[in-house]
Structure 1
Amino acid sequence: MEVQSKRIRARIQRSDEIDVVVLVEKIKEITGYEFRNPNLLRQAFTAHSYLEDDKNETDSYERLEYLGDSVIGYFVAFHHYSTYPDLSVGKLTKLRSANVDGEKLARAALKHGLHRFLNHNKPMLEAQIKQFEEAIVQYPIHSFGLVDTPKALADIVESLVGAVHLDSNSVDRTFQVIDKLLEPMVTPSTLSSNPVSMLFELCQKHKLSIEVLSRSWPKTGVFEYVVGGDVIGRAEYRSKRLVAKSRAAADAYDKLVAKLEAQNRQEQTNIDKTHSEAAQSGDEEQNGEEPTCASKEITSGEPNREEQIENDKDDNIKSEVQSGDVQTNNSSYYSVHSSAPRTKKVADVVNRIWTWLVS
């Protein structure tokens, strides 16, 4: 009775199944390829959950998915090898991974609406697809592990490619379909690393210890990263362990980068302050030196060197005149005293006065 009810439910589900002729036309519009064997195409869009209990997995898309996975991997590897001749093996590997992983293929399925043709019996799948569609808006090219991807979306891209390869029996024709489905592909300029890899590389560069706290994830859904003894990254996501791990790593990476940048700014501030203090100290030492003649004249009002010499001459003459050695006369500049013993001395004084007057 129970088996019969399942078969009835299966027949009811199949009543909504898209007609295979319509399916051929729709896939032709999307890929440019027209299937010669419609049943092969229908198999490519039939999930195992959709089959009755007396059916085996050979009637689902699982074997086509297996084949398509290998064909896509080969195409992407060959395409990158030919397009980027100077790219190292390590970067080629990362680039290939970004273009064949579950998220990239799921994006292709969503972009071309392939999920509309999927026959399945997964009540939660529609909600998961909707959540995925909303999440990738934040990441136009790839989230690199931060978004939970419905596996069924990636599966039908691989199974479709596998079906095209079998039906066409042509590598070139299959490659054309893959190229159209995966456009736009992740390129070296848009390639980014997984947050986990980025975090570990950053810690290694700055010689920081790192520890992953994940034992509580099965119960709490929490992932944490401890860097340099401090919990710096945390994320909670119960549905998928890898997503929780990637989100915690992204959180830790962003916070660590901000912390290191703040440290660098503080160090630069200290350096600038030291330089400023040294320059200020040098200016003060320079200001403490003997001022120039011009500054003496302007700032202190004191006579300059030439004026000081002239003043000294005036003082000497004034002293000598006051002592009686020299006296003034209206008929001449100076009149020598009549005392004979002092004649030579007076003559010397007169000569000095004359020299001063004419100078």
Structure 2
Amino acid sequence: MESCVSSVESILKYRFGNKKVLEEALTHSSCTESASYQRLEFVGDAVVGLAFANFVYLAYPSVDQGILSLLRAANISTEKLARVAVRHGLYRYVRHNALALDAKVREFALAVESEDELAAIYGGAVKAPKVLADIVESIIAAVYVDCDFDLKYVWKIIRGLLEPIVTLETLPLQPVTMLYELCQKQGKQVDMKHWRKVDTNICSIYVDGKLIATGTSDQKDIAKLNAAKEALEKINKSVINNVGIVYEVNEKNEIESAKQKLHELCCKKKWPKATYRIEKEVGLAHEKKFMCSVEIETAEVKLFMSGDEKSRVKEAENSAASMMIHSLVESNYL
């Protein structure tokens, strides 16, 4: 255990006066012959939260409490702290008698190597084992106790450990702010509902009373970010134009059920019904392809558009209708 204590001191760049407190911080509850880190983890959870609250309060004097809360949550979530344990190798120095723990930690550590920066906030492909965050919190508490509960000094020690810190400039607030801005422009009401299930925070987002996304996390604010991100992803696959026609676009930028959507559009704009015509047939009978055109008459002008070649007439008509809708949007007819 002495070598483990020395290694962690090197990582922290801090020498403990009472090394027993660090030994306790590095002892899992599966080691029943010694005191575990659970009491220290309890203290560390509060210490790291208050330390970050102080930091963001002083760093951003003009930012409201909602944004400050998001900044703190992004930096002290289980996902973020677990990655601190992996990045600095702190998990290697924990003594335990739980074989299953090694496999979970190893799987997570491998996943962290190939993930992007947002995974620390939203979570990656592998859920972070809570034990990793607990280790970081217990070590922080050990420093706090050893330096006679000096929070300012603790922050000097742990700030480097917790880098990269999510700042106002790097916090991905867009999912929340963009969702509200987008729906506000469209005259739609956004409601977020929060609740807890065991240790998990759940946030559901409703737009005009309809459930469109749900996010989860151990932190309430991160659950909200996750839900907003999912909501935006769904909305970004849809287009809502000025007359209220909602349509989804596939990976080829083709509008799903375009013929029906164009019909709805003509009805709402009180334009005559769109007319379709087969412009071209190519290929042998068993592999024939069709190209269709569509014509609509607005209050000002007649518009004509041809689609791509398709193996079925219905698909060719949808292609023409899709191009017509895109053209109407780009030409500001909608």
Q: Name the TM-score, length of structure 1 as normaliser.
A: 0.55
Whether the 8 Å contact between 1:144 and 1:194 is mirrored in structure 2 is no
Query: The residue matched to 1:140 in structure 2 has which SS?
Result: coil
Query: Which protein is bigger by CA-based radius of gyration?
Result: 1
Gap runs ≥5 in structure 1: 1-18, 218-222, 276-359
Could you say which residue in structure 2 is the equivalent of 1:151? 130
Could you say which residue in structure 2 is the equivalent of 1:25? 6
The answer to whether residue 42 in structure 2 is matched with residue 66 in structure 1 is yes
Could you say which residue in structure 1 is the equivalent of 2:314? none
The answer to whether residue 117 in structure 2 is matched with residue 140 in structure 1 is yes
Root mean square deviation of aligned Cα? 4.3
Query: Cα distance 1:146–1:105, how it changes in 2: closer, same or farther (>3 A)?
Result: closer
Query: Cα distance 1:191–1:41, how it changes in 2: closer, same or farther (>3 A)?
Result: same
The answer to whether residue 7 in structure 2 is matched with residue 42 in structure 1 is no
How many angstroms apart in 1 are the aligned matches of 2:174 and 2:331? 37
Query: Cα distance 1:143–1:205, how it changes in 2: closer, same or farther (>3 A)?
Result: farther
Query: The residue matched to 1:133 in structure 2 has which SS?
Result: helix
Between 1:41-50 and 1:254-263, the stretch displaced more is: 254-263
Deviations 1:208-261 (A, max 9, x none): 58899xxxx9xxxxx9988789997699x9xx9x99998786444313113137
Deviations 1:107-154 (A, max 9, x none): 111111000011223333223223333444333244433331110111
Count the aligned residue pairs.
243
Could you say which residue in structure 1 is the equivalent of 2:82? 106
Query: Cα distance 1:66–1:78, how it changes in 2: closer, same or farther (>3 A)?
Result: same
For 1:298-309, list aligned pairs within 5 A.
Answer: none
Q: 1:129 aligns with which of 91, 105, 108?
A: 105
The answer to whether residue 146 in structure 2 is matched with residue 167 in structure 1 is yes
How many angstroms apart in 2 are the aligned matches of 1:96 and 1:118? 26
Q: Name the TM-score, length of structure 2 as normaliser.
A: 0.58
Whether the 8 Å contact between 2:51 and 2:151 is mirrored in structure 1 is no
Measured after TM superposition, the shift of residue 105 of structure 1 is 1.0
Between 1:128-137 and 1:184-193, the stretch displaced more is: 128-137
For 1:168-183, list aligned pairs within 5 A.
Answer: 168-169=147-148, 170-183=150-163
Whether the 8 Å contact between 2:213 and 2:228 is mirrored in structure 1 is yes
Could you say which residue in structure 2 is the equivalent of 1:272? 331
How many angstroms apart in 2 are the aligned matches of 1:131 and 1:77? 32
Could you say which residue in structure 1 is the equivalent of 2:251? none
Query: Cα distance 1:141–1:211, how it changes in 2: closer, same or farther (>3 A)?
Result: closer
Q: Which amino acid aligns with 2:67?
A: K
Query: Cα distance 1:247–1:77, how it changes in 2: closer, same or farther (>3 A)?
Result: closer
Q: Which amino acid aligns with 2:331?
A: D
Could you say which residue in structure 2 is the equivalent of 1:324? none
How many angstroms apart in 1 are the aligned matches of 2:161 and 2:69? 21
Query: Cα distance 1:196–1:166, how it changes in 2: closer, same or farther (>3 A)?
Result: same
Whether the 8 Å contact between 2:173 and 2:225 is mirrored in structure 1 is no
Query: Cα distance 1:226–1:70, how it changes in 2: closer, same or farther (>3 A)?
Result: closer
Query: The residue matched to 2:164 in structure 1 has which SS?
Result: coil
Q: Which has the higher helix share?
A: 1
How many angstroms apart in 2 are the aligned matches of 1:193 and 1:129? 29
Whether the 8 Å contact between 2:214 and 2:230 is mirrored in structure 1 is yes
Query: Cα distance 1:194–1:127, how it changes in 2: closer, same or farther (>3 A)?
Result: farther
How many angstroms apart in 2 are the aligned matches of 1:188 and 1:245? 17
Gap runs ≥5 in structure 2: 198-202, 248-322
Query: Cα distance 1:42–1:82, how it changes in 2: closer, same or farther (>3 A)?
Result: same
Deviations 1:73-124 (A, max 9, x none): 1211111122222222221111111111111111111111000011223333
Deviations 1:279-302 (A, max 9, x none): xxxxxxxxxxxxxxxxxxxxxxxx
Could you say which residue in structure 1 is the equivalent of 2:52? 76
Whether the 8 Å contact between 1:66 and 1:159 is mirrored in structure 2 is yes
Q: Which has the higher strand share?
A: 2
Could you say which residue in structure 2 is the equivalent of 1:259? 238
How many angstroms apart in 2 are the aligned matches of 1:132 and 1:81? 32
Q: Which amino acid aligns with 2:233?
A: D
Query: The residue matched to 1:260 in structure 2 has which SS?
Result: strand
